[in-house]
Amino acid sequence: MRLVIIGGGILGTAHALAAVGRGHEVVQLEREPEARGATVRNFGLVWVSGRSATELDITLRSRQLWEEIGGRVPGVGFRPAGSITLVRTPAELAVAAAAAAGPSAQVRGFELLEPERVRAVNPALRGKFLAGLHCSTDAAVESRQALPALRAHMAASGRYTFHASTEARSITDTGTSATVIDDQGRRHDADLVLDCPGAAHTGLTRELVGTIPVRRVRLQMMQTAPLDEPLTTALADGDSFRYYPGFAGAETDALNREQSQTAIAAEHKMQLLCVQRLHGGLTIGDTHEYQEPFAFDVDEAPYEHLTAVTEELLGRKLPQVVRRWAGVYSQSTDPAALVTRAKADEHVWVITGPGGRGMTLGPILGEETADLLNL
């Protein structure tokens, strides 16, 4: 088959990878010279630990796919580093203990570690904490280099073409196929068109499917200069228990009633996530903002909070912060949906809304769509 995929982010690229892997021809259009949205403004985490019980199997399958992809395409930077969520209060410790004793603890790779064992796993953690919830199944990829590496891998098949700085202007379903016209007047005929617009819910996407059950979420993050030692696992703090459905339960309810978050963390709906990039710098975040219109500037107070928490857990000063940024991602508002798939015409689909799970679930969502559409 011939596919045209609109959107060069992780979701569009994962769908291209699934299609090329099944022997089809793919043309991918990206309106920017390079994907610049949430795909590259994230941690690159393949996050098993916080996924709900209903999402766990698919998340583990996606993590396996990432490991297989990393074996074929080393440039994506896959590494099975795991994570440690450090807890600083008795209420957070209760959540961690419940997770470590829960029915899915073994498949998630959960183990509750005393501070000495935390430091044995990750010697960079020399700060103040009561314990750490280790998740050995969590992993990471290099979000800013993964997509170019995947495109080069697909191009080597001879069945993949990438058009940068190219915007799709119209899509016509002829009844037996579909035609995409881009902003340079080129015609792309296809047996199937997949529009993966990320957080661009207006424009062509709205013309195709109208209003769909998705919302946009804004976040703030930062990156430091290289740390002079390895951070052997990803790092999270106890506030992350409040946002990930895998930790839901009586203990998390008690944590939320305790209102132990600082005013800044509560206002900006914050958690600490931290991962070391291959160049040694730390990517640190993040905040959650749901009410539009979003500001075009960034607030300094969340960065000060993230710096203070990270330094408390590391027991040292952070390297200089060299970059700060905001990002916006698309999140399905249907709690039962991992992603929103909307059929526009017989040969045209819109796919968006994985939320903060886009990097984690990208490969499996591409494979699921391929199965759904009998590719």
- Cα four-point dihedral sign 203, 209, 210, 214: negative
Q: How far apart are CA 153 and CA 73, in angstroms?
A: 7
Q: How confident is the model at residue 213 (pLDDT cuts 50, 70, 90)?
A: very high
For residue 335, what pLDDT is reported?
A: 86
Q: CB atoms < 10 A from the CB of 253, how many?
A: 11
**Which pLDDT score, from 0 to 100, does residue 240 have?**
96
Residue ranges per domain, the chain? 1-78+141-213+336-375, 83-136+214-332
Structure confidence at residue 262 (pLDDT): 87
Query: What is the per-residue pLDDT across 235-261, written as a single tens digit (0 to 9) for each?
Result: 999 999 999 999 999 999 999 998 777
**Mean pLDDT value across the chain:** 96
CB 326 within 8 A of CB 219: yes
Sign of the Cα pseudo-torsion (290, 91, 314, 118, in order): negative
CATH code of 1-78+141-213+336-375, in short, is: 3.50.50.60
Of 231, 221, 203, 217, nearest to 350 by C-alpha is 203
Pick the CATH number of 83-136+214-332 from 3.30.43.10, 3.30.9.10, 3.40.630.30, 3.90.180.10: 3.30.9.10
Whether 1-78+141-213+336-375 and 83-136+214-332 share one fold: the answer is no
